[in-house]
Amino acid sequence: MATACLQFCVGGADAFFLIRLSSQIGQRLSHKADDGVQFQHDLVDSLSTGHEFDSVSPLHRKGVSMDMARNSLSAFTVSVAIFFTLANSVLADGVIRDGVGAISGGRGGTNLGFADNGAIILDNPGALVNICGNGWAELGADALFTDLTYTDPDNPRVDASDNPFPMGQLSLIRKMPSGNVAFGLGAFSVAGFSPKYTLNGPFPLLGPQTYKSVGAMMRVLPSVSLALTSRWSVGATLGVAISHTELEGPYFTQLATPFQGTPTFLDLQGTGAGLSWSVGTQYKLTEMTTFGMLFQGETQIDADGSARLTIPGLGTSRFDMDLETQWPSTLGIGIAHRLCPCTVVAADVLWTRWSGAKYGYNMFLSNASNPAFTALLGPRFPERFPMEWDDSVAVRLGFQRRFCSGSVFRTGYVYHPNPIPNATLTPWIQAIVEHTVSVGYGWKKGKYLIDVGYQYMFGPDEYVGPSGFIGGDFDNSRTTAGAHWLLTSVSRRF
């Protein structure tokens, strides 16, 4: 494992061009220990002196011939072709982020073939044991700025309120002295949305009304990684996912009960937790090319909260609320390939099973504060917020290059088709962006690594004819969506 770490320091920490064909996949490179040490020393000397680094002779000293490099490039090309074949049959990434943190986010979210940042706990726990040195600590803070609009016959092009949505992450990785086992602990904000509109309400809920929603999910993940051979490592996480949901606005009851279609004003909040687990692996195909795979299990969350329901003519009542939510399972595969010690290319594809997780939110209202609601609705009133999302596959591409000064430049692109069918598209959840472009930069300050990144997300307008929501509130509407991410992180290698 020490030899594997040395080569990763040279190739992985120095640069990457990754193409991400899935959710979580990693990179692991290994050499003979004495040659790897010499190679690393040569690179460190070049970076400290500013002299050009000879990337050819060290490879020949390790017996890596040009034929081997060409063969590894061929293996990478075939793998990429396979991944893009898979990508042609896919849909979208919904509200899940295109990469967590400035390092991964700056290169298009590609992280399955890397072991150079703390987010590998989330993206591929099989990479932990491949981290360079004895460990890694990282703290990140990100901010989401949205550019959302909504239009319908009663509301000519209304802009959503511009409220920055903060998110963050914290990670710690530690390798055992043997170098064959590593442990990690991380907390990651992996999904979120927060639109707010003032719109003219539908009949009979007329006049300016607030349409507001908040959704956020964080995973807290203890993790472990094990090197099975000099080429193959595996890892797993077992932790907790915490989800928070808010919804406010005019609402017609949707579930097929005797009260279906009843006009109401709804205001609810719910928070809950569920089991989160994943397994990942990395395998070195050649000296230059690494394959990775990850599976993230579906997370079931039973949230507790409260709701306030107003029915014109009946009054207002507060309720206790049970809310059933799910976050989808994900399967990812990927390839990372070193073009030279300072540049790497890669590809990841991520399949997300939205159809099983976002079919709808089931809620149950009980303990009404107004006895009139108990008499009318019963002691426990069920309701379902329809979603019926489609499965998706995201393709992530990235580029990373390290310069002789030690600074790092990153850029990337993500494609993830819209998973929300027009029938259930509303101003509450407008996750319809399909493209993301990103750029990032990193440098060293003393013992610390500082990284910044930016992502711009955009997609085509979506038009709704007859809405699938009962009540006609969203019939003949149009939605536009864009977003900007500002990403920052500070990390230190031990």
Q: Is the pLDDT of residue 321 over 80?
A: yes
Give counts: helices (H), strands (E), the chain. 8, 23
Residue 267 bridge partners (DSSP): 248, 308
**CA–CA distance, 294 with 24 (Å, rounded to integer):** 5
Tell me whether strands 448-458 and 315-327 are parallel, antiparallel or unpaired.
unpaired
> Residue 469's pLDDT is what?
96
Average confidence (pLDDT) over 34-56: 36
Average confidence (pLDDT) over 359-381: 93
> Residue 270's pLDDT is what?
94
Q: How confident is the model at residue 63 (pLDDT cuts 50, 70, 90)?
A: very low
Q: How confident is the model at residue 216 (pLDDT cuts 50, 70, 90)?
A: confident
Please give the biggest Cα pair distance in the chain: 85
**CA–CA distance, 312 with 316 (Å, rounded to integer):** 8
pLDDT in tens, 384-425: 999 999 999 999 999 999 998 889 999 999 999 999 999 999
> Residue 161's pLDDT is what?
86
**CA–CA distance, 182 with 257 (Å, rounded to integer):** 53
The answer to whether the peptide bond before residue 460 is cis (omega within 30 degrees of 0) is no
Q: What is the total count of domains within the chain?
A: 1
160-168 long-range contacts, CB within 8 A, separation 24+: 160/195, 160/196, 160/197, 160/427, 161/195, 161/196, 161/197, 163/194, 163/196, 165/192, 165/193, 165/194, 166/141, 166/142, 167/97, 167/141, 167/142, 167/143, 167/192, 167/216, 168/139, 168/140, 168/141, 168/142
Q: In terms of residues, how long is the chain?
A: 494
To the nearest 10°, report the CA torsion of 125, 129, 131, 132.
Answer: 180
Closest C-alpha to 386, from 419, 422, 421, 424: 424
Residue 159 bridge partners (DSSP): 149
pLDDT in tens, 137-175: 999 999 989 899 999 999 999 999 877 778 889 999 999
Least confident of 10-19, 448-457, 465-474: 10-19
pTM above 0.95, yes or no: no
Q: Is the pLDDT of residue 37 over 80?
A: no
pLDDT in tens, 171-194: 999 999 999 999 999 999 988 778
- Report the percent of the chain where pLDDT is more than 90: 68
Q: Domain range for residue 218?
A: 2-493
128 versus 36: the higher-pLDDT residue is 128
The torsion angles phi and psi of 116, rounded to 5 degrees, stand at: -125, 20
| Cβ within 8 Å of residue 450, ≥6 positions away | 442, 443, 444, 488, 489, 490
Q: Is the pLDDT of residue 8 over 80?
A: no
Q: How far lies 33's CA from each of 40, 47, 62, 195, 336, in Å?
A: 10, 21, 10, 53, 22
Q: Is the pLDDT of residue 28 over 90?
A: no
- Report the percent of the chain where pLDDT is more than 70: 81
251 versus 98: the higher-pLDDT residue is 251
> Residue 357's pLDDT is what?
86
The overall average pLDDT reported for the chain is 83
> Residue 95's pLDDT is what?
66
Q: How far is CA 217 from the centre of its chain?
A: 11
| DSSP E strand boundaries for 232-342 | 232-252, 263-284, 289-296, 299-311, 315-327, 330-340
> Residue 12's pLDDT is what?
36
The torsion angles phi and psi of 414, rounded to 5 degrees, stand at: -130, 140
Question: Would you list the DSSP string of 63-74?
Answer: T--HHHHHHHHH
Closest C-alpha to 28, from 306, 288, 264, 393: 288
Q: Is the pLDDT of residue 3 over 50?
A: no
| Cβ within 8 Å of residue 296, ≥6 positions away | 23, 24, 277, 278, 329, 330, 331, 332
**CA–CA distance, 486 with 212 (Å, rounded to integer):** 23
Residue 10 near residue 61 (C-beta atoms within 8 A): no
| Cβ within 8 Å of residue 70, ≥6 positions away | none
Residue 135 near residue 494 (C-beta atoms within 8 A): yes
> Residue 320's pLDDT is what?
96
> Residue 215's pLDDT is what?
85
Residue 430 belongs to a domain with what CATH number? Answer: 2.40.160.60
**CA–CA distance, 72 with 50 (Å, rounded to integer):** 29
